[in-house]
Structure 1
Amino acid sequence: MTKRDMIFPAGRQALYEINRYSAAIRSGDLLFVSGQVGSREDGSPEPNFESQVQLAFDNLAAVLKAAGSTFDDIVDVTTFHTDPENQFETIMAVKNRIFDKSPYPNWTAVGVNWLAGFDFEIKVIARLPQPA
């Protein structure tokens, strides 16, 4: 059986301990990242929607970095939106800055009615770089 390793970005492990989940799990050469939101240092949502989306991507980048990975290693993306029709243009602007070249990862967008006070969440699966 493949061993599972927990991954935590610097300075945020307490948040995950309180809620009893891992920021990410490394299993073999795959990284499964829990949903990341646009939370400030104190855990509260960033009120400006575009900034909240950008902060969710920034928080995702911190988890990827902790695992020795980058956005280029992502193969699958799932995003959750509280108001997809009205948020789509803003989300796409941020997403397209991050994933700016082909090959793009798979992407599934899901409309939801509650995200614990947030309006956007992103979770990913990445294939970890292998040592040369």
Structure 2
Amino acid sequence: MKEIIHTSDAPEAIGPYSQAVTHAGVVYCSGQIGLVPETMEFAGDDVESQAKQVMKNLKAVLEEAGSSFDNVIKCSIFLADMSDFSTVNEIYGSYFGDNPPARETVAVKTLPKSCKVEISCIAHT
């Protein structure tokens, strides 16, 4: 049976989706953008501040689900501009040790609320 995960330490969903869903020991985290949960405003206009907030938001959702970055199996990174790859990659990489998860990074035309980066992940509990 699936369980809906919700924490006030991550932004409220801005559409008809859950922050995460768990099923059979697997955590499916919806994409997070750089919104600060308390204000629902971006952490900043630059990709660095948004990427840092994205990772904070993902951490909060994973923890609420009883998981952590150590248990992440796969991530998907969506960038508004591929020239931001190295900045996001550095911030993202600081959250994973010697055994990082599988991942893809793609540039897309637009992202929710015209953000600069969105990241989703799959983890185990």
Query: TM-score, normalised to structure 2's length?
Result: 0.90
Paired AA for residue 76 in structure 2: T
Are residues 1:81 and 2:79 paired? yes
Question: Which residue, 27, 34, 37 being the options, matches 1:31?
Answer: 27
Are residues 1:20 and 2:16 paired? yes
Measure how far apart 1:103 and its partner are.
1.6
Measure how far apart 1:20 and its partner are.
2.0
Question: Which residue, 89, 102, 110 being the options, matches 1:114?
Answer: 110
How has the CA–CA distance of structure 1 residues 12 and 61 changed in structure 2, closer, same or farther, with 3 Å as cutoff?
closer
Structure of higher CA gyration radius: 1
Gaps of 5+ in 2: none
Are residues 1:42 and 2:55 paired? no
Are residues 1:102 and 2:121 paired? no
CA distance in 2, matches of 1:61, 1:9: 11
Taking only the aligned residue pairs, the percentage that are identical comes to 30
Whether the 8 Å contact between 1:30 and 1:125 is mirrored in structure 2 is yes
Partner secondary structure for residue 10 of structure 1: coil
Paired AA for residue 22 in structure 1: S
Query: TM-score, normalised to structure 1's length?
Result: 0.86
CA distance in 2, matches of 1:88, 1:6: 31
Gaps of 5+ in 1: none
Q: Runs ≥4 in structure 1, deviation > 6 angstroms?
A: none
Paired AA for residue 98 in structure 1: Y
Aligned residue in 1 for 2:7: 9
Query: Over aligned residues, Cα RMSD in angstroms?
Result: 1.5
Whether the 8 Å contact between 2:77 and 2:117 is mirrored in structure 1 is yes
Whether the 8 Å contact between 2:31 and 2:119 is mirrored in structure 1 is yes
Aligned residue in 2 for 1:125: 122
Q: Which is further off, 52-61 or 4-13?
A: 4-13
Aligned residue in 2 for 1:51: 49
